[in-house]
Structure 1
Amino acid sequence: MILINLKFTVKPELADQWMDAVAQYTADVRSEEGNLFFEWYRPVEGGENEYFLLEGFTDEGAKAHVESPHFQEGIDAMRPLLAKTPQIISEQIGAEGFGPMGEIQID
Structure 2
Amino acid sequence: MITITVKWDVKPEYADDFLELTREFTEACRAEPGCLWFEWSRSCDNPNEYVLIEAYKDAQAGKEHVESGHFAEAMKTQGKYAATRPKVISFEKPGTGWDELGEIEMP
Same fold per superposition (TM over 0.5)? yes
Q: Distance in 2 between matches of 1:20 and 1:77?
A: 14
Kept in 2, the 8 Å contact 1:29–1:35? The answer is: yes
CA RMSD across the alignment: 1.4
Q: Secondary structure at the match of 1:63?
A: helix
Aligned position for 1:23: 23
Cα distance, 1:105–1:34 mapped onto 2, change above 3 Å: farther
Structure 1 contact 21–77 (Cα < 8 Å) conserved: no
Match of 1:103 in 2: 103
Contact 1:34 1:61 in 2 (8 A): yes
**Matches for 1:58-97 after TM superposition, within 5 Å:** 58-59=57-58, 60-97=60-97
Cα distance in 2 for residues equivalent to 1:76 and 1:50: 20
1:31-66 C-alpha deviation (Å, 9 max, x unpaired): 001100000011122x11010000100221100000
Please say if residues 4 and 88 of structure 1, whose CA atoms lie closer than 8 Å, have aligned partners that are also in contact: yes
Shift of 1:102: 1.4
SS at structure 2 position matched to 1:98: coil
- Alignment match, 2:32: 32
Per the alignment, residue 6 of structure 1 pairs with 6
Moved over 4 A (4+): none
Residue identity opposite 1:50 in structure 2: E
Q: Which residue identity lines up with residue 63 of structure 1 in the other structure?
A: K
Aligned mates of 1:106, 1:33 — CA distance in 2: 35
Report the CA distance between 1:105 and its aligned residue.
Answer: 5.9
Counterpart check, 1:50 vs 2:49:
yes
Structure 1 CA distance for aligned equivalents of residues 105 and 96 of structure 2? 20
- 3-state secondary structure, aligned to 1:52: strand
Q: Structure 1 vs Structure 2: percent identity of aligned residues?
A: 39
Letter in 2 for 1:58: K
Q: Which consecutive unaligned segments of at least 5 residues does structure 1 have?
A: none
Equivalent pairs, count: 106
SS at match of 2:16: helix
